[in-house]
Amino acid sequence: MGKLLEHHSKKIIADAGVLVPRNCVVRNPEEAAEKAQEIGCQVVLKALVPVGKRGKAGAIKFAANPVEAAARCQELLGMTVSHFPVEKVLVEEKLSIAQEWYLSITIDKKAQAPVVIASLEGGVDVEILSREHPEKVITHLIDPVLGMADFEAKEIWAELGLNGKALTLATQTLIRLVRVFLEKDASILEINPLVLTESGEVAAAASVMSIDDSAMYRHPELAGMVQLGSERTWRPQTVLEKLMVEVNEADPYRGTARYTEMDGGDIGFLCGGGGGSLLSFDALVSFGGRPANYSEVGGNPPERKVYGITKGILSKPGVKGLFVAHNITNNTQVDVMARGVVQALKDLGIDPNTFPVIVREAGVNDGAAKEIFTAAGIEYFGDEASITEAAGRMVERMKSLAAAEGGE
């Protein structure tokens, strides 16, 4: 899934008729002071990074005037929040809040349908609230085809205790947010808090939104807003990681290829997804190997996707070997894997006689794959050997290479 920064998600819901605070993005204290002056009231400054719980991290600050706004902006720009350096700050009007509520729409994996989660106690961790006070949280499944009827939205808020104008406005807001969620192919749309202002308006004080990467071809209007592949990141994506996202998204209809770069390391790592990949990675490390990346391919990707991810893995400086493995339960055609990997090695001018490449494959067409790999001079193991045994051989080859290089 691809995350959106808060100013993008707020623009999307504002365009749908949801009230949001006036806001703008700044990159230095001078801009913060200028925008605070334009807003003309007390402001909130938020670190513009794709992580949650910014308040607990001290990444949300308040300012009563432009001078304070500049100072608070300077403080935020000097922070790193959950490994993300703060390069931009969201400046928005400080709402006069009478009540804080919680509202989110996400996917219930068990029911395979969107679900609304709502509470009149916002600004808190809903996980803790639902565990300690389940009676204060309502969940309601949404028909993925028909959406949500007005009466359903009204029943949710009424059951929680709203009435009068607040009930009407909360109902309208929920209906609009559900429409955004469905129309934009979102995976989550969280408003925490959704607030009732002292003037009686309902507004989204904070917004978190992610979009299904696979649906981006339907949403050219979101280009530049959605950070593709960012649901798996705990830090800013590297240049190589962004390039590998492009490799995957260039053909989004068949198979997946994911790449996460590691600090240092000299073994390129390409394995099937799930437990098999984790076993392979742990086995390399247990033998003293140093993987340069963690990369998975699954869902039977085409040859060009395997080729692209392999070239990316091998392009990282310092990579001196390649380990490729799948377990027998993987549904990927192993001969397709073989052609993609071998072609990447050939195009990069890599000689398996001097550059250790160990392959352990099992599954569909593994006989043809063995022929392709061995013809290219690559050391191949089938299901007669375990992934752990192949990983041990990979590390053995790397140690031999290091010894030879040390003796030169």
Annotated domain spans of the chain = 22-93, 97-222, 237-407
User: Which secondary structure element, helix H or strand E, spans residue 256, and what is its range?
Assistant: strand 256-261
Task: Give the chain's mean pLDDT.
Answer: 92
Across the range 333-356, mean pLDDT stands at 95
User: What pLDDT sits at residue 355?
Assistant: 97
Q: Strand 84-85 relative to strand 89-93: parallel, antiparallel, unpaired?
A: unpaired
Across the range 90-95, mean pLDDT stands at 97
SS3 122: coil
Entry pTM: 0.74
Whether the pLDDT of residue 213 is over 90: the answer is no
Number of other CB atoms surrounding residue 130 within 10 Å: 17
User: What pLDDT sits at residue 134?
Assistant: 85
Confirm if 310 and 340 have CB atoms less than 8 A apart: yes
Across the range 293-307, mean pLDDT stands at 92
Domain 97-222 and domain 237-407, same fold? Reply is no
Whether the pLDDT of residue 406 is over 50: the answer is yes
Domain 97-222, CATH number (from 3.40.50.300, 1.10.10.60, 3.30.470.20, 3.30.1230.10): 3.30.470.20
| Per-residue pLDDT band at 215 (split at 50, 70, 90) | confident
Contacts of 378 (CB under 8 A, 6+ apart): 342, 345, 352, 357, 358, 359
> What percent of the chain stands above pLDDT 70?
96
User: What pLDDT sits at residue 232?
Assistant: 60
Whether the pLDDT of residue 47 is over 90: the answer is yes
Class of domain 22-93: alpha beta
Whether the pLDDT of residue 408 is over 50: the answer is no
Whether the pLDDT of residue 407 is over 60: the answer is no
User: Which secondary structure element, helix H or strand E, spans residue 361, and what is its range?
Assistant: none
Whether the pLDDT of residue 127 is over 90: the answer is no
Across the range 192-206, mean pLDDT stands at 97
| Per-residue pLDDT band at 214 (split at 50, 70, 90) | confident
| Per-residue pLDDT band at 82 (split at 50, 70, 90) | confident
- From the list 339, 408, 349, the residue with the least C-alpha distance to 375 is 339
| Per-residue pLDDT band at 83 (split at 50, 70, 90) | confident
186 vs 56: which has the higher pLDDT? 186
For tokens 């352990």, the residue is 360
Contacts of 305 (CB under 8 A, 6+ apart): 247, 248, 250, 251, 254, 255, 257, 297, 340
Across the range 377-397, mean pLDDT stands at 95
Tens of pLDDT, residue by residue over 155-176, are 999 999 999 999 999 999 999 9
What one-character DSSP code corresponds to residue 365? T
Class of domain 237-407: alpha beta
Bridge partners (DSSP) listed for residue 271: 296, 325
| Per-residue pLDDT band at 313 (split at 50, 70, 90) | very high
